[in-house]
Amino acid sequence: MDWGLKNRLARIIKSYDRRGVMLAVDHGYFLGPTERLEDPQKTIAPLLPYADSLMLTRGVLRTSVDANYPIPVVLRVSGGASIISKDLSNEKITTSIKDAIRVNATALALSIFVGASYEHESLVSLGNLVNEGEEYGIPILAVTAVGKELEKRDARYLGLACRIAAEFGAHLVKTYYCENFEKVVDSCPVPVIIAGGPKLATELDALKLTYDAIQAGAAGVDMGRNIWQSDHPVAMIKAVKAIVHQNLKVKEAQELFNKLKLEPKSDKSAKPAKLTKPTKTKSKSTKAASPA
């Protein structure tokens, strides 16, 4: 693997534990103004300090994230169908690699729709995107999308989709957690991270999902709604992160969440230090120290 590609991947999947916490906020690309993501800037800013990377479209990146904030960006570059269209699988690459480089993307993400009407197009898009990514040292995240067919989420289907993504050259795969998830991970030669999916009934359910996925070998999460649709999103991302990077058990993570949610909301937001000229300090110059 080329140095640049390896280096970019290490900004997403940390080399010290081979895991990562990606915050997903790309939902608007087919769902429009998703609940609690209506004002992306407001949703994203308080969570940035706790995410290892941020997954989103160039539109939300440019309008709603401060360019001075040094977070690795996983740029969604596929799209073309909305939730009200007939077929969600009808996606193409919509963002050029030039523009991805212009916004300093660390990785590129696209959806593949294995078994759906546009399977062929989405897989060819993956192959082409890997070709471009390899050229510039940018890793590709393949998202095994199921459209509206959520019942497809079992180990047989997801294992097939993840393996195909890796065979096409994806450097990282995002899929759903399912029973026997270790089979999905074991048959995929690149790191697998999980999506959270629609908001679960309780935060405890989402923490359990995270824990089970990590135990089964997932390299982390690319989670959205189960974090920012929580009434306590900062507490939630911190608890998820503690499971991913500190191996907290579900009960410990729940206790952490319950403690953190009581803290005042004035949590540190993603406000980068203002870029000002460095102040000149009077240095003890060699001139002063040297004999006259």
Binding ligand R5P by CB under 6 A: which of 19, 27, 152, 171? 27
Tokens of 120: 């062929």
Question: 195 or 250, CB closer to ligand R5P?
Answer: 195
Nearest 10 degrees: CA dihedral of 103, 109, 110, 113?
-170
One-letter amino acid of 112: I
Asked if residues 240 and 266 have their Cβ atoms less than 8 Å apart, the reply is no
* Catalytic residue, candidates 42, 92, 98, 174: 174
User: Does the footprint of ligand R5P cover residue 195 (CB under 6 A)?
Assistant: yes
User: Does the footprint of ligand R5P cover residue 191 (CB under 6 A)?
Assistant: no
d(CA 116, CA 98): 29
Question: 19 or 27, CB closer to ligand R5P?
Answer: 27
Total of residues contacting ligand R5P (CB under 6 A): 15
271 is catalytic: no
Rg of the chain, C-alpha, whole Å: 21
Element (H, E) at 53: strand 53-56
Q: Is the dihedral of CA 62, 38, 94, 116 positive or negative?
A: positive
Instruction: Name the segment binding ligand R5P (CB under 6 A); options: 20-28, 82-90, 122-130, 231-239.
Output: 20-28
d(CA 201, CA 206): 8
User: Does the footprint of ligand R5P cover residue 152 (CB under 6 A)?
Assistant: no
Binding ligand R5P by CB under 6 A: which of 222, 234, 243, 244? 222
Sketch the per residue contact string, 52 through 71, with ligand R5P: x for CB under 6 A, - otherwise: ---x----------------
User: Does the footprint of ligand R5P cover residue 223 (CB under 6 A)?
Assistant: yes
The DSSP result for 21-35, as a single string, is: EEEE--THHHH-S-T
In the three-class reduction of DSSP (H, G, I as helix; E, B as strand; rest coil), residue 90 is classed as coil
Q: Angle CA(167)–CA(171)–CA(176) in degrees, nearest 5?
A: 85
One-letter amino acid of 250: V
Question: 24 or 77, CB closer to ligand R5P?
Answer: 24
Asked if residues 137 and 104 have their Cβ atoms less than 8 Å apart, the reply is no
Sketch the per residue contact string, 71 through 110, with ligand R5P: x for CB under 6 A, - otherwise: ----------------------------------------
Question: 145 or 248, CB closer to ligand R5P?
Answer: 145
73 strand-pairing partners: 54
User: Does the footprint of ligand R5P cover residue 19 (CB under 6 A)?
Assistant: no
Instruction: Name the segment binding ligand R5P (CB under 6 A); options: 121-129, 179-187, 191-199, 282-290.
Output: 191-199
Binding ligand R5P by CB under 6 A: which of 11, 171, 225, 232? 225
Residues that bind ligand R5P (CB under 6 A): 24, 26-27, 55, 111, 143, 145, 195-197, 222-226
Residues serving a catalytic function are 174
